Structure 1
Amino acid sequence: MLRTAVLLGSVVVLAACGSAPAPRGGSGTQAQAVSFDTGTVSRFATGPIGTACLIHDRRNASRALCGCVQAAADMTLNQADQQRGVRFFSEPELLNEIKISDSVANEAFWERWDRFSETAERLCG
């Protein structure tokens, strides 16, 4: 039951992202930072998770929301995990395959992804 709840929470985070044009020109703007109990988080962080959030067909995406989700990824996932997680935006069923896998590597990844999902929900909510 707990795993189902965590999976649904992850899907909610992914569903919050959506289709909006990717930012053009210039670097990621650090225009607004928000302080949380985990530290100061840029609301406009850029990276693979934020880009995937913006370019895949999700209704509620915005630069601010996807930037916040990227900031949560930066806090909780290494670069390899972020690159792996990009696929979940276009193929969310892969996340369930990892969750139910008996592989030690997949279980470890799932724990990191779950931590990211919880962080993103708390920060970007």
Structure 2
Amino acid sequence: MKQVLLSFALISAILPSQAAFAGGSIERACLSANRAAASRALCGCIQNVADSMLTNTERAKVAKFFKDPHRSQALRQSDRNSDERFWKKYKEFGLTVTSYCR
């Protein structure tokens, strides 16, 4: 659990401060999150991982985490079975992004 939160914090800390004009929902959210140390390459990589691991609905949910990181914590603490299943998948996504997108 700590590793997933650390992965999310790492991703959030290195997101760019410029707006995206193309790409998927996660890439656009990543580029518009006003983080200083990121690049289009990083956000594109995160989007590529998302495209390979997550459904359209899941990608839309993850994109919202960039704008409101508290959403991810609320979802993580939810008692709903569907949220628990999503959180497990999201953890795997975070670990994959951390190892693949450098």
**Which protein is richer in helix relative to its size?**
2
- Partners of 2:79 and 2:19 lie apart in 1 by 38
Larger Rg: 1
Partner of 1:107: 84
Q: Is the 8 A contact 1:11 1:92 kept in 2?
A: no
Which residues of 2 match residues 83-122 of structure 1 at below 5 A? 83-122=60-99
Which residues of 2 match residues 10-29 of structure 1 at below 5 A? 10-23=8-21
The size of the alignment, in residue pairs, is 102
Query: With structure 2 as the length reference, what TM-score do the two structures score?
Result: 0.90
Runs ≥4 residues deviating over 6 A: none
Q: What fraction of aligned residue pairs are identical, expressed as a percent?
A: 34
Unaligned runs of 5+ in 1: 29-45
**2:54 aligned to 72, 77, 99, which one?**
77
Distance apart, 1:112 and its partner CA? 1.3
**One-letter code of the match for 1:84?**
K
User: What root-mean-square deviation, in Å, do the aligned CA atoms of Structure 1 and Structure 2 show?
Assistant: 1.4
**Which protein is richer in strand relative to its size?**
1
**1:58 aligned to 32, 35, 41, which one?**
35
Distance apart, 1:4 and its partner CA? 2.7
Unaligned runs of 5+ in 2: none
Query: With structure 1 as the length reference, what TM-score do the two structures score?
Result: 0.75
